Amino acid sequence: MTRYIARRLVQLVPVLFGVSIVAFSLLHLIPGDPAAILAGPEATESDLAAIRRDFGLDDPLPVQYVRYIEHAVQGDLGVSVRTRESVADLLIQRIGFTFQLTLLTMVIAVTIGVTAGVIAAINHNRWIDSLLMVTALASLSVPSFWLGLMGLILFSAVLGWLPSGGAGDISHLILPAVVLGTSGSAVITRMTRSSMLEVIRQDYIRTLRAMGVAEFSIVFKHALRNALNPVITVVGLEFGSFLAGTTVVETVFSLPGVGRLMVSSIFTRDYPVIQGGMLVLAVMFVLVNLATDVLYSVVNPRIRLGHG
């Protein structure tokens, strides 16, 4: 197990290197001059030249990239072009909120998804199975920004049950987490149902029923545990979707997370903040996938990750 984790951590290096290349290349292909945005419409050419010189924007792109990598490996993600604050400090201030939102979203999505998937599987081809699958398909089809706006209108403006945005106690996270977790729960529901149907048709399940074992024990102690591995894979992948989804949800609900910071940085061409944010999110995604693989051996002890 230890060797496996160490090997995966080493594999993190080329992944982050690739992310940095893609982020750097795409950002510099976007039209617009961050110096002009920062200086304002009345800036002179000398003002623009001074800003480019201060931030190294007048250097060739390969030189800018090498300098960025040299600083990044030392934990220095640069300085924001817009606010002149440390990018690392900006991300540290916001990553905690984004992680809390993503974690609550995962709890909601997994709880709803696994429960609905199990119910659909044990009621295969009945009306409740059809209802849950149609609901999952509808949830998967609804855009998160539209669902967020409808949630704001209903639960904040009309009913007044939940705050309309901003940071505070957990009540500020409930509506964004539900909106973000809706599509994720649909994917988990479909995977849980499919995996459960495959397991409950196996011979050992029929043997347990013939022996008079309680149906509840068969479903949740034997069938669900053996059906969880594909579900765990989907949950790990959905975590990445949740991280990406926070960008839209944090903007709709005016939440002080990394996603909203990156959106505002894109508009101002704040390259250091965007690149730093992408690296941080990539690290979180890879670490969650590592935790997902380790969880396989916990759910199914027959899997030994340390070999091979």
Give the model confidence (pLDDT) of 70-94 as tens digits.
777 777 777 777 777 888 888 888 8
Give the model confidence (pLDDT) of 11-70 as tens digits: 777 877 787 787 777 666 666 666 666 666 666 777 677 777 776 667 777 887 887 777
Q: Higher confidence at residue 61 or residue 100?
A: 100
Query: What domains lie within the chain, and their CATH numbers?
Result: 99-299 (1.10.3720.10)
Report the pLDDT value the prediction gives residue 308, as an integer from 0 to 100.
Answer: 45
Report the pLDDT value the prediction gives residue 30, as an integer from 0 to 100.
Answer: 66
Rounded Cα–Cα distance for residues 149 and 24 (Å): 33
Give the model confidence (pLDDT) of 115-134 as tens digits: 898 888 888 888 888 898 88
Q: Higher confidence at residue 280 or residue 108?
A: 108
Instruction: Give the number of residues written for the chain.
Output: 308
Average pLDDT of the chain, as a whole number: 78
Q: Identify the burial level of 208 via C-beta atoms within 10 angstroms of its C-beta, where 0-12 means exposed, 13-18 middle and 19 or more buried.
A: middle
Rounded Cα–Cα distance for residues 102 and 243 (Å): 7
Confidence of residue 297 (pLDDT cuts 50, 70, 90): low
Q: How far is CA 9 from the centre of its chain?
A: 19
Report the pLDDT value the prediction gives residue 266, as an integer from 0 to 100.
Answer: 78
Contact predicate 108/139, CB 8 Å? no
At residue 79, the 3 state secondary structure works out as strand
- Residue 295: what residue type? L
Q: Whole-prediction pTM value?
A: 0.74
Average pLDDT over residues 207-225: 79
Rounded Cα–Cα distance for residues 220 and 204 (Å): 14
Most confident of 88-92, 153-157, 162-166: 88-92
Rounded Cα–Cα distance for residues 24 and 26 (Å): 6
Average pLDDT over residues 198-220: 80
Report the pLDDT value the prediction gives residue 103, as an integer from 0 to 100.
Answer: 86
Locate 51 and state its tokens: 């800003």
Confidence check: pLDDT of 150 > 60: yes
Confidence check: pLDDT of 99 > 80: yes
